[in-house]
């Protein structure tokens, strides 16, 4: 009589299913972690190519005697920086840049908040007015500069004609430094106020409406709700607008460059900005890429310092508002 061997245990199919499910779970978890970085990687790759690499290469050029015609020369260290800092035109350009920046950025942010508050109300044809404030941003900077340079002409400009009806003597917009700064700042405000208005308006529409309803029930006026609810809840957006306006205001080039036909910032360089001074060093009479790169790096450091100051001030204001 033969004794049969005991049957072998059949392998459970649930083990294979559990391993496959675990593998899919790991892939899904990896996808959740990696996918966001893959989606934003094109921006950082492009920024590395067109942003960081030129910045590093400019630093390399700034420590060499680099000429537009002769190319790379000897290593000179910080000589280009010291040469630039001893030039009176550098401080003239720095003064003009800060003057135009303050005359444009401060009113620009204030007007953007006011216009956004008006567009946030229940007015007719809201879409038409919201698209209308963006039209100046669509116009090319060259066209804006040419039109405003004619409006602010010293002899035959429309602005002087309008001021003359009120008994004001003609203003020398292309000769007086402060007047030229006001004219150029007007161009900048005309072009960028609508853009910042839409950013602020989008933030206003994100504020919950029940907050306003509760304030109205408590007896708050429209002006009270604007300063006690709208402005505090717009702080992050206002910080963003201030920082971007600061960066753009310190890099202004198109408007002052095209304010007259010569494009040199005036006979006495009374409205020449830092970027125009950079252009003059690199492509003007000197054709020194080394000094132009030094000015670019000095401007970069100035923007970093001003941006850091803006960030600290606005962050402190924001923290005090939360308290």
- 147 belongs to a structural domain: yes
- 7 belongs to a structural domain: no
Regarding pTM above 0.85, the answer is: no
Mind giving me the DSSP string for 200-252?
Answer: HHHHHHTS-HHHHHHHHHTT--HHHHIIIIIHHHTHHHHHHHHHHHHHHHHT-
Question: How many domains are contained in the chain?
Answer: 1
Core vs surface per residue 172-196: b (16+ CB within 10 A) or e: ebbebbebbbbbbbbbbbbbbbbbb
Degrees to nearest 5, angle at CA 148 with 142 and 149: 85
| All residues at 6 or more sequence positions from 87 whose CB lies less than 8 Å from its CB, including other chains | none
Burial of 239 (0-12, 13-18, 19+ CB in 10 A): middle
- 33 belongs to a structural domain: no
* Residues in the chain, overall count: 323
- Give residue 294's Cα distance to chain centre: 22
- 286 belongs to a structural domain: yes
pLDDT for 1 equals 46
pLDDT for 183 equals 92
Please give the Cα distance from 219 to 245 (Å, whole number): 36
Q: Which CATH number goes with the domain that contains 91?
A: 1.10.3720.10
pLDDT for 3 equals 53
pLDDT for 178 equals 92
- Per the structure, the complete domain to which residue 138 belongs is given by 82-322
Three-class DSSP category at 64: strand
Please give the Cα distance from 147 to 138 (Å, whole number): 15
CB atoms < 10 A from the CB of 246, how many? 18
- 40 belongs to a structural domain: no
- 247 belongs to a structural domain: yes
- 52 belongs to a structural domain: no
- The position carrying tokens 């408007």 is 255
Q: Taking the chain (323 residues) in consecutive chunks of 10 residues, what is each chunk's mean pLDDT?
A: 52 62 79 83 88 88 84 85 92 93 90 90 82 86 87 86 86 90 92 91 89 84 85 86 87 89 85 91 83 92 86 69 57
Burial of 67 (0-12, 13-18, 19+ CB in 10 A): middle
Q: Can you read off the two tokens belonging to residue 230?
A: 């709208």
- 316 belongs to a structural domain: yes
């Amino acid at each position: 009589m033969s004794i049969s061997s005991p049957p072998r245990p059949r392998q459970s199919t649930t083990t294979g299913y559990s391993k496959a499910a675990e593998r899919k779970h790991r892939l899904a978890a990896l996808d959740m972690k990696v996918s966001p970085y893959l989606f934003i990687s094109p921006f950082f790759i492009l920024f590395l190519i067109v942003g960081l690499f030129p910045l590093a290469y400019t630093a390399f050029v700034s420590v060499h005697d680099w000429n537009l015609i002769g190319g790379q020369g000897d290593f000179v260290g910080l000589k280009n920086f010291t040469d630039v800092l001893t030039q009176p035109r550098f401080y003239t350009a720095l003064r003009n840049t800060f003057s135009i920046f303050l005359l444009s950025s401060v009113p620009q942010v204030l007007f953007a908040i006011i216009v956004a508050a008006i567009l946030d109300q229940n007015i007719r044809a809201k879409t038409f007015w919201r698209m209308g404030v963006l039209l100046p941003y669509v116009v090319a900077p060259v066209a804006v500069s040419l039109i405003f340079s004619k409006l602010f002409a010293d002899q035959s400009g429309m602005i002087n004609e309008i001021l003359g009806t009120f008994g004001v003597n003609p203003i020398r917009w292309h000769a007086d430094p402060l007047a030229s700064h006001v004219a150029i700042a007007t161009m900048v405000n005309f072009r960028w106020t609508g853009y910042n208005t839409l950013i602020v308006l989008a933030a206003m529409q994100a504020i919950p409406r029940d907050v306003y309803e509760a304030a109205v029930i408590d007896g708050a006026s429209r002006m009270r709700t604007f300063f006690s609810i709208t402005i505090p809840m717009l702080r992050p957006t206002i910080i963003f607008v201030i920082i971007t306006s600061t960066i753009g205001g310190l890099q202004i080039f198109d408007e002052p460059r095209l304010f007259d036909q010569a494009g040199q910032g005036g006979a006495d360089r009374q409205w020449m900005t830092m970027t125009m001074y950079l252009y003059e060093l690199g492509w003007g009479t000197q054709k020194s890429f080394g000094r132009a790169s030094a000015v670019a790096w000095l401007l970069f450091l100035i923007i970093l310092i001003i941006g850091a100051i803006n960030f600290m001030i606005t962050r402190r204001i924001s923290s005090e508002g939360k308290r």
